[in-house]
Chains A and B, each alone.
Chain A
Amino acid sequence: MKALYSWIREFVDTDLGPHDTADRLTMAGIETSSVRYLGNGLDSIVTAHIRSIKPHPKAEKLTLCTVNDGERDYQIVCGAPNISEGDRVPLAHIGATLPGGMEIKRAKIRGYYSEGMMCSERELGISDEHEGIMILPDDTQPGKPIVETLLLDDYLMEFDITPNRGDCLSVCGIAREVAALGGFPLIKPPIFFPEEGSDIGREVTIEIEDYDLCPRYSSRVIYDVEVSPSPLWMQRRLQLCGMRPINNIVDITNYLLLELGQPMHAFDLDLIKDRRITVKRAGDVKSFTTLDGIDRQIHEDTLLIWDGKDPVAVAGIMGGENSEVHKGTRKVLFESAHFNPLSVRRSRNRIGISTESSYRFERGVDPAGTLLAIDRALTILSGFSSFTTCRGFIDEKREISTYTPVRIRTKNAQRITGMKIAKKDAIRVFSNLGFEIADGKRDEILVHVPSFRFDITREIDLVEEIARILGYHNVPTTYPKADIPHSSADHEFIEFKKSASQILSSLGLMESINYSFIAEKTFNQLTEFSDDFSELPVTIKNPISDDTGLLRPSLLPGLLKSTSTNIARYNRDVRLFEIGKIFKKSLKKDFFEENRLASIFTGNLSIDPLSGREKKVDFYYARNVLDKIFSGLKIDDTFIVAEKIPGIFQPGESAAIKYEHKTLGYIGLINAAVCDLFDIDTEVYCFEINLDLLFQIRSPERKYRQISKYPPLERDISFLIKREIPVGDILAYVKRVDDSLIESVSIFDVYRSEKLPPDKKSIGLRVVYQADNRTLTEQEVNDIHRKIIILIENRFGGMVRSS
């Protein structure tokens, strides 16, 4: 919300300057986001008189103007079409720097000098209007500084008002805060206008049917009105505060909305059928044309203002086209009402427009202030317009309470704030805020909170007022007493995630974070490739773009997208991992979330500058990373099987990662068709595992096993075997030949070559024998070793080449 410093000063007698006022307000919760001196950059701009306008001899769209600033003539080259001889305009002299930063220099335009520039409203920084030069009133004295002419020797203040402080959405509300902060006196606005017309009761009748949505409806009527533009000062204030001047009648309602925060509406009474106003719900009415000319759908519960036959306004939101004040309007009915905040909010949501009026009603408008606003409006209007005011007013209402009693104990204020609070200080805060102190025994104070402070109904609300007004900087800084922390599985899980991140990053992977969203299109494209995408997706009802339509059922699309982005930016070596949630729909309406860990690899892993050898990432690298995660996270007994792999992976170079009968995830080469979807034309390896499951099967508890003091014996066997036989199977079987004396079995060589039979590979196997309690004899080792050779030959059809 915007307000002018000079306007605020009309309501509070303060010696604080605009910047100090802003700081004090901000530190009391009325955030002042900016203070701007309106005269900035306008020093060298004066009022000038256009003496003559001639066409520019060399440019069709330009004119040569002679203007006079009261001292001498200047030649100005101008392109604006809206000026005429005799107009008064703002003239920027050579050397001026406009508020927007433009510097005015002597310039030659198509062969003619221009000694300055005539300005539009936007160039002066007072509105967005830039269609033409700003035309000033005819009686403006040439030479008068524009700052004076346009009343710009002032400060525009902008406030971010929190939703609880609807009472501060007005000049008067801000002034009340300033008064409370400094103990300054408030100034009551003058109210005076003659009531010389006929009795209002003869002009109109008003009835409220739905009191629940409209507890009060006040009104006055004026006639013999001349609808005309408002004076410059009012137009300026409206404009600067963000409203468009229209005519004196509409402007005065807007002016009061800004000044007192009371939204008002003006009806052309001659257009009100039967001279009768009724306030009731829409019921059967289906649509209504608001004064912006738009036909709007109306919900049956929306509160409308009706004349004798039809709706004439949507209560608290916008008037109707059918009763709008226009040039020929002679008789005006001013409405100043109180509408239910919830009802206004719902209605404006349904209609889909938010107005200055609805914004205030939603946040609460003082029900006690309706009549004051009309009277203030007529007082100001009578200063520059002629009209006759009907005698009396109409004020339909239910019982309106002007205050709420709230009790506070200073003991509680101290208990919450940690601040020492004397009763007299609390009382001073309340009276400066304009609250009445009704009673107070011991540490208790009974406060009558005025009706404009909707936000204060409970003791805690008063505690906040005390802390806020005394200032948070006066609250001491202390520390809570120490306590034994709770234990929680969530905390352990965070530590687990952290370990995983540390392991992966130290292995040369970079952590990425992708959005939890996935585009519906991507999801559908992946349906045929993985179970993750064949179930019903979790759908966002109100996505902000195609990319935010669904929630991801897998981390892989995000990683593939990030990889693709990197490759497109010439980062061809990509090794990323992500730890995050995936989302799935289960049954009819339940959803579940699962933490997953996924990695993606492509390009070169390393280049050795000495040998010039590049190491590309491959399946084995990905597998090895996986092994390191498992060992680092203390996860035992996982294994890999090349079966039931989802289609997102390339068969033959992919596997399922298992623990007992459970599938933890998958690892492998991404299917080329899937890579195509992400514009990736290189080999990409991935794995994705269920981190929740991993967390469950971790076994951090370990028992130390005695390290043998006796020497180990190493034996190698090399053999030929069918290519498709997985080495992992051989290792498992070999170890089982003698679990106690075989310390380890490893592969030191896998060899495929044209020199070998086409379906064979050569395997080099190293067996280490060791006993815990003695040195093994050659004989013992030979016996076991022979069994291993038999196993390889008989079970796996191996052809032992040497052993």
Chain B
Amino acid sequence: MSDLHETIKRIRQEAKDLIEKAEREGDLLEIKGRYFGRKGSLSALMKTLVSLSADERRKAGKSSNEAKRELEQLFEAKLAEIKRRRKERIGAEAATDVTLPLNLIPTGKIHPVSETLFHIIDVFSRLGFTVFSGPDIETDYYNFEALNIPPDHPARDMQDTFYIANLDGDLVLRTHTSPIQIRVMERLQPPVRVIAPGTVYRCDYDITHSPMFHQVEGFAVDRDITFSDLKGVLTEFCTLIFNRRATLRFRPSYFPFTEPSAEVDIECVICNGDGCRVCSETGWLEILGCGMIDPAVFEFVNYDFEHYSGFAFGMGVERITMLKYGINDIRLFFENDTRFLAQF
């Protein structure tokens, strides 16, 4: 009996010493398993008590339970201490230089022109416009004739055209995205509300002209579409694209496929209209051309001008991007210098 008691006492002391010396959570768990866990030596000892008298059993049980309780307490205390110390140590060892500049994940960018293009499309999508596209190699009919620009019309001088060498000589690189107007109206009946982005080409090359650039054409046809609606839609568009309340100025102009036609100027985004070098001291920046679709165009696509009216507009994506970011040379867009691309 006293042996038993001694054994319990010895186990208790051994475990106590080990817990005291333990430094890691794993060690502690191991001690617990060995001495006072479900399969530990204390539990094993209790299983041998069956042969003892009831009184001895009760005494031994009591002493074993006491030992177990004390060890549990020591265990919890030590565990808490180890955890606390570990936290402290992590804090102290945080020699990570948080300011170290890293390039573990390389930087990528969307081209500023694409970004503007997607932005324009997003804005018009919100206003209920749907994207339609067309080919870059276009027929004379879609690029000119159906847009009320017959052969030998002086308006053909407004756009220097690249011609494709083909047998019939009737193919061009589209000079604007307006042919998509015709292509869509041939297929769909009003009401239509379309935005048509694309690459366009003109024989021109200098600081503000590129032989290839991007345009977005938009148009809407329905009953009772008016020039005043055009003003509303474009004002909203400019406000969203330049992220500020836009002041627009509509100036009469001429396009063969719209009448009345207008050039739209936005109050200079650099000087707020006070006059600066970017706006040539005028306070205004020309950003797009627009107008009411000419009845002659409706005739080409069999829309009834007595019942329907529509507006159309077209803008240069590079131009808007240059204004947004203060870029002064259009050629930068096509050099693809990574130091340029990384800026946007």
A-side residues, CB < 8 A to B, are: 26-29, 31, 162-165, 342, 345-346, 362-363, 415-419, 458, 460-461, 463-464, 467-468, 472-473, 475-488, 490-491, 493-494, 498, 501-502, 504-517, 538-545, 548, 551, 562, 565-566, 569, 571, 573-576, 580-581, 583, 588-589, 591, 593, 605-610
B292 lies within 8 A of A540 (CB): no
Select which of B121, B131, B154, B231 is within 8 A of A488 by beta carbon: B131
Q: Is B242 an interface residue (CB 8 A)?
A: no
Q: Are B162 and A540 in contact (CB under 8 A)?
A: yes
Complex partner residue of B108 from A28, A464, A493, A505, CB under 8 angstroms = A505
Encoded as 1 (CB less than 8 Å from any A CB) or 0, chain B from 59 to 88 comes to 000000000000000000000000000000
- Chain B residues with CB under 8 A of A478: 226, 228-229, 231-232
- The B103-133 residues at the A interface (CB cut-off 8 A) are 103-111, 113-114, 118, 121, 125, 128-133
Cα A504 to Cα B104 with chains together (Å): 16
Judge whether B46 is part of the interface by a CB distance below 8 angstroms.
no
Given A540-B163, A548-B211, A510:B342 Cβ within 8 A? yes
- From the candidates B109, B162, B191, name the one contacting A511 in the complex (CB within 8 A): B109
B192 touches A472 (CB 8 A): no
Point out the residues of chain A lying under 8 angstroms from B225, CB to CB: 480
With contacts A512-B341, A516-B212 taken as known, whether A538 is within 8 angstroms of B164 at the C-beta atoms is yes
Top-9 shortest CB links A-B = A418-B228, A418-B226, A29-B252, A508-B106, A162-B254, A512-B336, A505-B108, A562-B336, A491-B131
Q: How far apart sit A538 and B205, CA to CA, in the bound complex (Å)?
A: 21
B53 within 8 A of A: no
> What chain A residues lie within 8 Å of B179 (beta carbons)?
none
Across the interface, do A562 and B109 meet the contact criterion of CB distance under 8 Å? no
B164:A515 contact, CB within 8 angstroms: no
CB atoms of A515 and B212 under 8 A apart: yes
* Residue of B204, B292, B336 with highest tally of chain A CB at under 10 A: B336
Q: B132 near A472 (CB under 8 angstroms)?
A: no
If A31-B251, A475-B231 touch, whether A486 touches B188 (CB-CB below 8 Å) is yes
| Interface residue B137 (Cβ < 8 Å from any Cβ of A) | yes
User: For the complex, what is the distance from the CA of A512 to the CA of B112, rounded to whole Å?
Assistant: 9
In the complex the two chains form, is B199's CB within 8 Å of A581's CB?
A: yes
Q: Which B143-176 residues have a C-beta within 8 angstroms of A?
A: 152-155, 157-158, 162-169, 171, 173
- Chain A neighbourhood of B303, CB < 8 A: none
Considering only CB atoms, which chain A residue lies closest to B106 in the complex?
A508
Write out, one digit per residue, whether chain B residues 276-297 have a CB within 8 A of any chain A CB (1) or not (0). Answer: 0000000000000000101100
**With A162-B254, A540-B162 already in contact, 15 other A-B pairs whose C-beta atoms are closer than 8 Å:** A163-B158, A165-B254, A345-B152, A417-B227, A461-B259, A473-B250, A476-B228, A477-B231, A490-B131, A493-B133, A494-B197, A511-B111, A514-B334, A544-B204, A606-B105
Query: A467 CA to B262 CA in the complex, in Å?
Result: 11
- B235: interface (CB < 8 Å): yes
Q: How far is the CB of B170 from chain A (nearest CB, A)?
A: 10
- Point out the residues of chain A lying under 8 angstroms from B233, CB to CB: 479-480
Distance A415 CA – B249 CA, assembled complex (angstroms): 22
* B306 nearest in chain A by CB position: A412
Is there contact, CB below 8 Å, between B164 and A540? Answer: yes
Q: Does B44 contact A (CB under 8 A)?
A: no
Contact partner, B128, options A31, A345, A485, A543, Cβ 8 Å: A485
Contact, CB under 8 Å: A416 / B226: yes
In the assembled complex, the Cα of A551 lies from the Cα of B154 at a distance in Å of: 28
Please measure, in the bound complex, the distance between the C-alpha atom of A745 and the C-alpha atom of B226, giving whole angstroms.
63
Total interface residues on B, CB under 8 Å, equals 91
- Chain A residues near B105 (CB-CB < 8 A): 508, 606
* Cα separation A312 to B228 with both chains bound (whole Å): 54
Given A417-B227, A480-B229, A490–B260 Cβ distance below 8 Å? no
Question: Is the CB of B313 closer than 8 A to any CB of chain A?
Answer: no
Question: How far in angstroms is the closest Cβ of chain B from A414?
Answer: 8
In the complex, the answer to whether A512 meets B162 with C-beta atoms within 8 Å is no
Name the residue in A417, A507, A607 with the highest tally of chain B Cβ atoms < 10 Å from its Cβ.
A417
Let me know if B338 is at the binding interface, CB within 8 A: yes
Known: A416-B227, A508-B106. Contact between A163 and B254, CB under 8 A?
Answer: yes
Contact A506 B108 (CB under 8 A): yes
B110 and A511 contact, CB distance less than 8 A: yes
B173 touching A540, Cβ below 8 Å? yes
Query: Which residues of A are found within 8 Å of B252, using beta-carbon distances?
Result: 27-29, 464, 467-468, 472
A504 and B164 in contact, given A486-B192, A490-B133 (Cβ under 8 angstroms): no
Within the complex, which residue of A513, A538, A551 is in contact with B114, where a contact is CB–CB below 8 Å? A513
Closest to A458 in B: B295
CB of B253 within 8 Å of the partner chain = yes
Q: Contact: A345 with B231, CB < 8 Å?
A: no
In the assembled complex, which residues on chain B have CB atoms less than 8 Å from the CB atom of A589? 166-168
Q: Which residues of chain A come closer than 8 Å to B33, judged between CB atoms? A: none
Contact of B232 among A479, A483, A551, A609 (CB under 8 A): A479
Task: Out of B108, B114, B131, name the residue touching A508 (CB < 8 Å).
Answer: B108
- B344 → chain A, closest Cβ, in Å? 10
Q: Tell me, yes or no, whether B220 is within 8 Å of chain A by CB.
A: yes
A514 to B113, CA, bound (A): 12
Query: Would you call A544 and B158 a contact (CB within 8 A)?
Result: no
Give the Cβ gap from A140 to chain B, nearest Cβ, in Å: 36
Q: Is the C-beta of B337 less than 8 angstroms from some C-beta in chain A? A: yes
- Give Cα A467–Cα B311 distance, bound, in whole angstroms: 15
Contact A608 B227, CB 8 Å, known A473-B250, A486-B130:
no
Checking A162, A416, A460, A487 against B253 with a beta-carbon cut-off of 8 angstroms, the contacting residue is A162
27 interchain pairs, CB-CB under 8 A: A31-B251, A163-B254, A345-B154, A363-B154, A415-B224, A416-B309, A418-B227, A473-B249, A475-B227, A475-B231, A485-B125, A486-B193, A488-B130, A494-B121, A501-B118, A502-B110, A508-B107, A510-B341, A511-B111, A513-B111, A513-B333, A514-B334, A541-B163, A565-B336, A571-B338, A581-B136, A606-B103
